[in-house]
Structure 1
């Protein structure tokens, strides 16, 4: 019963003051209507007397009657149902027993509006029907049948309008709350999407760093091993190997510095592209040959101008990772790199005659690295397809196909 009779929603001082103003306004309106309503309806005094109608005057009893039907509205939001029952019962009593034809219905109207606004749909319907029933019962006790019928129709119309207005306002408030909740949910979704994109960018950056360091450190390691073998019998060749290793390390350091520069906010001097594109494929061939692998490059069918920059950079990163795997794991003596542009797709093939990367489906690097898995993920993010596995007749092939149109959805495949 506590929920039905008393609403637990806390009210601020401003809420109480607002309800006090509503009650005072209703009281003033009731007193005014008490004085002028009948005079305006039947302005001729002799006709009123002939009909037996006396205009209510603001006597203490009449003012008390108006006060009883309006001042409880101060509690209308705290106790909507008790307030409606009090003011409606008081109004019906004064309307029927005191002959108050001009008794104002303002108190019950405001109370019914409040119930319809703050309670459920069923309670709003009950309030409207019950109020209309009380109005009919009160009108039936009047001896002024013609005037009472007119007043009855007017009062029922007012009560229906007040109840419907309260319910309509409740529906609107519910709609606004639902819209606000949807907006908050959409904002949370945007934040989640932003976090997901940040995570994807973090993975991409990690992959770029891995590609740079794995490629360069592998070259440094090979040149250092060569220098170690040649230091005694061929110091000049050992010196050249050390020089190449130093140059490779310097290039890797510059690339990493460029990438860090791009990540710095507001650093206008940073490079716009931390990694190079397929214009450096010849460097990969040189890297293979420097490691003792005879390499060839075919890119006559590749039109760099027709390939978006991000696709070009991705192809080079995949080729670099594949070449690094050949040097580190394949034990190959020959390798072939091929770039081509087919209708709507850029294609990369990297073939070798070695044994391939160990356990390629798990990553393609000793110790659980991210070589082949990183290449596959890079292609998947660009909507392309990727394959890596043994070739018919021996050797290993890495194949990547990336759509030139970024809106094209492809698939990611691995072997």
Structure 2
């Protein structure tokens, strides 16, 4: 009724406008990324928000919740990483004719590839398929996997082997980021404190009745208190998402991202030292335990003569809870949860510890020799 007939499919003008906004945000982010990184990050978040709204529009609440939380976490992590990037000043570098040609060539290739992939995706989603595997998932999600949430049953049951590979990749990426950042040394112009922090430190040092970093403590007093009070609520909400994931929107991945948000907020409000003196954060063990649990869940089926990653469920009568289904896929989902929490927290810690580093001290003899030369 509100759509336009085009090629046998209905295109809602509001939905098309939504994606036009997303495209403008994406193009704007690409054009501003070189010299205006904060603006580019905001525009990138706008494009991600359009994707999230699109999932809601197409009745995919699981994907929408996951997309929203991933956008929040990645935006915060990128903001933390932007602190250590070298400065880019327009007009300092002289662009040659070959560099201009290469940039225009890259723009043309990017537009051609993007338009091609978009056309292919649109054709695949609008082309009618007579025999689709999606019907099998819809019809057997409850009888074969013991859950009403078809998306989560697909991820941890029907296509659990794919999910095992995905969390393995996530763990490898987190360990790689951590390893690279351990060897990372920021640019010389990024080592000093930001101008605002320098002014606050100078003000605290000049006032006899103020301690060091007193201004920072004052600014973060109320936000820090709110975050401390909300962190248990966020953790409880993550547990809620995990427990309901097999039947309602939720699951191990989105629950893991939710718990990671609570840890990220604590790091932002109190700092790395404050958090790690009060809370033992062992992300590598979370990653190892999650991968081990996921693999052992898959190997458990071999002991009963079934193929690797074959799940099983049955109804049990439990006190106070009544008759409920219990699936082995929940153990696999718990492994996914642990890997997501560990990987996200590991990358967060790697970025947070950059602010704790100090320039390496030069030995006196080496400094004297350098002065003589």
Q: Under TM normalisation by the shorter chain, which class is it? A: under 0.3
- TM-score (structure 2 length as normaliser): 0.27
- TM-score (structure 1 length as normaliser): 0.25
Structure with higher strand content: 1
Structure with higher helix content: 2
Larger Rg: 1
* Larger RCO, structure (CA 8 Å, separation 6 or more): 2
